[in-house]
């Protein structure tokens, strides 16, 4: 698929995407706070700087973009056709870094949860997914991804 904007415009657009306070992240924070869970933001002293740290539950949560972290079988994780070798290398490196960070956190006794962007596109949470996060937090089980399987793309 050919890009619909010129190279400089695309570069400017990509630079404006910030790593913190994204809409899916704010949706998760709002849900957890309303559900009575208390957390800290951006565990700077933990590997990978998790988006949310829930010390009472010894749990960290990452909010991953489906494209940047290549959510398996997700419609939002399409590999770009232009400069494909660069993107393949870059996105695979992101996935490898994620695996290492999760392993280190789990070895240190932390439970790790990942909320995929497709569960809260444009800040609108998928209610079933968010309820399953609350249940998972109370069960105190290990690693989990939310949703377990990609939701349909909501590109509106």
Q: Which structural domain, as residue segments, surrounds residue 95?
A: 19-146
Q: What does the alpha-carbon distance between residue 71 and residue 9 come to, in Å, rounded to a whole number?
A: 26
Q: What does the alpha-carbon distance between residue 130 and residue 128 come to, in Å, rounded to a whole number?
A: 6
CA-atom Rg of the chain in angstroms? 16
Residue 43 DSSP label = -
- Whether 71 contacts 151, CB under 8 Å: no
90 inside domain: yes
Residue 58 half-sphere exposure, CB side, CA atoms within 13 Å?
12
38 inside domain: yes
> Residue 53: which CATH number?
3.40.960.10
Number of domains into which the chain is organized: 1
Q: What pLDDT does residue 124 have?
A: 72
Q: What pLDDT does residue 2 have?
A: 64
129 inside domain: yes
This prediction's pTM: 0.80
5 inside domain: no
How many other C-beta atoms lie within 10 A of the C-beta of residue 151? 20
18-50 tens-digit pLDDT: 566 678 888 899 999 999 999 999 878 899 899
26 inside domain: yes
How many other C-beta atoms lie within 10 A of the C-beta of residue 120? 26
């Amino acid at each position: 698929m050919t890009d619909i904007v010129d190279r400089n415009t695309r570069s400017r657009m990509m630079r404006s995407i910030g790593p913190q306070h994204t809409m899916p992240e704010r949706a998760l924070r709002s849900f957890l706070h309303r559900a009575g869970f208390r957390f800290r933001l951006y565990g700077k002293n933990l590997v990978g700087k998790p988006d949310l740290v829930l010390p009472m539950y010894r749990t960290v949560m990452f909010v991953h973009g489906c494209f940047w972290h290549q959510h398996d079988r997700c419609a939002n994780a399409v590999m770009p056709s232009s400069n494909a070798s660069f993107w393949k290398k870059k996105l695979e490196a992101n996935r490898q870094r994620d695996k290492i960070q999760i392993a280190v956190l789990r070895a240190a006794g932390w439970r790790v949860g990942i909320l995929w962007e497709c569960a809260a596109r444009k800040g609108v949470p998928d209610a079933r997914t968010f309820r399953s996060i609350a249940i998972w937090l109370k069960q105190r089980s290990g690693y989990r991804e939310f949703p377990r399987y990609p939701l349909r793309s909501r590109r509106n």
